[in-house]
């Protein structure tokens, strides 16, 4: 069948999608989610089909195409294209197998990842894969195969250096912006530490969101390599690099579902580390009932899996289990967290002590992994001497940013102080509500929105004293966040 092209000026964000009029679809006995081959000038693309009965959207005799198809086949409005029926990707059957609890083979996993990378699966089909791995957790062998498949279908940063240091936190704890302190300390000590980070999935800020307050985080891999070889460190967004691109597509599906399948979490982290040629990797697993990892037993199981995968990939992996009972640092949200980090690096008395202690502890672990003794003292000396701040300023400049005073960072213009209703001490802080209120206020999409904590666990507090302050860039979001804070038990004072 030949049809005329209609550019419907819509993007799917990845999958190749076309829309047919119901009458044309009936002629070929085609249905929603079937596959079509579109041929133009000798080039063929297989697309996911949608069907409409609305002739205003796509009239009979035409085929509506999303921007990804337009760009791939270099189509123009009213071009004539050849349409034929195509079979669905093989990986759909493999995903069904996983939904039924079966183990996947190397061939099946590699096919699924290939189809993800090449946009052969619709967002619904990809969501089923995420759900299948969430419900029927992959074995260690499957997870290792998934990790290797993710790396195979992406770019690799080859620095040809040793050691190459890296760190990662499982997340789930508000704040906890350790990377922006650890990277300049390790780099100032003379070691390579290329850090790729994700944007927020369910938190008020990811490392990339916070670093973006200070500098550009979106680079091609060639530029990333140039930055690392020049400064020994970087803090960039992994989503722009084509490092394990299947992982970024999986994360995009996980975000609205607000889930992290364990096997995909393991593969995601280790694939990204493998892709930047890391040799020594420190994994931080914060635990608490409202964190991503709820208890020590879960953490120990994850620790064991990380060690097994690291060994198979010939990487030195160390896993630490840390306290996730409360936010780390004072600022929650990109700009507020960036301000915390700069205060800490500049040795400002307003810097959060808990963030500093955790960063120094993690630096000590990293130094020990590469054979350096007295790592805590070494990290503290680098921090106190100003070398860490100088290195951070160098990295910021290399990433296209400018050195900025912490107090010049723009914070949301609308603010509201939540006060203690009685005297006592802070016995409990609800991490989930801290994150929720910060996100409702506008974080991370509004960089200046979020929460600033004035009190932490164990702190004494008097009636009328500030517990936390909400900041927002939007009047509407500010009012909503304020209402939620007033009607939620975020702090318990006894």
Sign of the four-CA dihedral 52, 55, 60, 61: negative
260 is a catalytic site residue: yes
Helix spans in 313-408 (H): 334-345, 353-369, 375-385, 387-398
Tokens of 343: 């205060």
Contact 134, 99 (CB under 8 A): no
Locate 40 and state its tokens: 């133009």
DSSP 86-133: EPPPTHHHHHHHHHTTPPPPHHHHHHHHHHHHTT-S-HHHHHHHHHHH
**φ/ψ bin of 219: left (φ > 0), alpha (ψ from -120 to 50), beta (otherwise):** beta
**Which residue out of 260, 284, 340, 446 is catalytically annotated?**
260
Tell me the CA distances in angstroms from 143 to 268, 270, 278, 305, one per residue in order.
Answer: 10, 10, 19, 9
Give Cα 448 to chain centroid, integer Å: 19
Residues 301 and 321: beta-carbon distance below 8 Å:
no
d(CA 10, CA 24): 21
The three-state secondary structure class of 283 is: strand
Nearest residue to 47 via CA among 28, 76, 68:
68
**Secondary structure E strands in 377-480:** 414-419, 424-429, 450-453, 460-461, 466-472
Q: Catalytic residues, which ones?
A: 260
């Amino acid at each position: 069948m030949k049809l005329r092209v209609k550019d419907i000026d819509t993007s799917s964000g990845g999958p190749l999608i076309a829309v047919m009029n119901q009458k044309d679809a009936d002629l070929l006995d085609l249905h929603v989610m079937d596959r079509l081959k579109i041929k133009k000038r000798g080039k063929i693309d297989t697309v996911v089909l949608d069907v409409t009965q609305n002739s205003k959207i796509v009239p009979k005799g035409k085929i509506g195409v999303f921007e990804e198809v337009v760009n791939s086949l270099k189509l123009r409005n009213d071009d004539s294209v050849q349409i034929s029926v195509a079979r669905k990707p093989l990986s759909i059957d493999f995903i069904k197998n996983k939904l039924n609890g079966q183990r996947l083979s190397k061939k099946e996993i590699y096919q699924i990842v290939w189809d993800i990378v090449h946009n052969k699966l619709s967002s619904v089909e990809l969501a089923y894969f995420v759900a299948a791995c969430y419900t029927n957790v992959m074995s260690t062998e499957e997870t290792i195969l998934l990790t290797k498949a993710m790396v195979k279908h992406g770019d690799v940063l080859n620095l040809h250096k040793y050691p190459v240091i890296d760190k990662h936190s499982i997340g789930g704890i508000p704040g906890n912006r350790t990377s922006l302190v650890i990277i300049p300390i390790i780099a100032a000590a003379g070691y390579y530490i290329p850090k790729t980070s994700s944007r927020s999935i369910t938190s008020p800020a990811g490392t990339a969101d916070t670093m973006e307050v200070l500098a550009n985080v979106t680079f091609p891999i060639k530029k990333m390599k140039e930055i690392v070889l020049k400064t020994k460190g970087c803090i960039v967004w992994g989503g722009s690099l084509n490092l394990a691109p299947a992982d970024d597509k999986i994360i995009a599906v996980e975000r609205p579902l607000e889930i992290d399948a364990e096997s995909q979490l393991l593969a995601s982290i280790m694939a990204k580390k493998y892709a930047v040629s890391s040799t020594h990797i420190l994994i931080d697993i914060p635990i608490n009932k409202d964190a991503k990892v709820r208890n020590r037993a879960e953490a120990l199981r994850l620790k064991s899996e990380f060690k097994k995968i690291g060994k198979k990939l010939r990487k030195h992996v160390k896993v630490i289990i840390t306290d996730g009972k409360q936010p780390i640092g004072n600022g929650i949200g990109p700009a507020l967290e960036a301000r915390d980090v700069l205060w800490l690096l500049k040795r400002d008395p307003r810097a959060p002590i808990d963030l500093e202690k955790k960063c120094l502890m993690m630096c000590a672990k990293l130094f020990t992994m590469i054979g350096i003794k007295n790592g805590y003292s070494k990290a503290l000396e680098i921090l106190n001497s100003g070398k860490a701040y100088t290195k951070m300023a160098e990295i910021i400049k290399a990433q296209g940013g400018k050195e900025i005073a912490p107090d010049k960072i723009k914070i949301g213009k609308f603010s509201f102080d939540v006060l203690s209703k009685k005297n006592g001490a802070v016995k409990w802080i609800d991490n989930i509500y801290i994150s929720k209120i910060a996100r409702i206020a506008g974080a991370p999409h509004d960089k200046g929105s979020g929460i600033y904590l004035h009190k932490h666990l164990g702190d004494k507090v008097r009636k009328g004293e500030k517990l936390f302050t909400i900041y927002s860039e939007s009047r509407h979001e500010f009012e909503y966040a304020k209402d939620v804070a007033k009607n939620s038990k975020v702090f318990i004072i006894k």
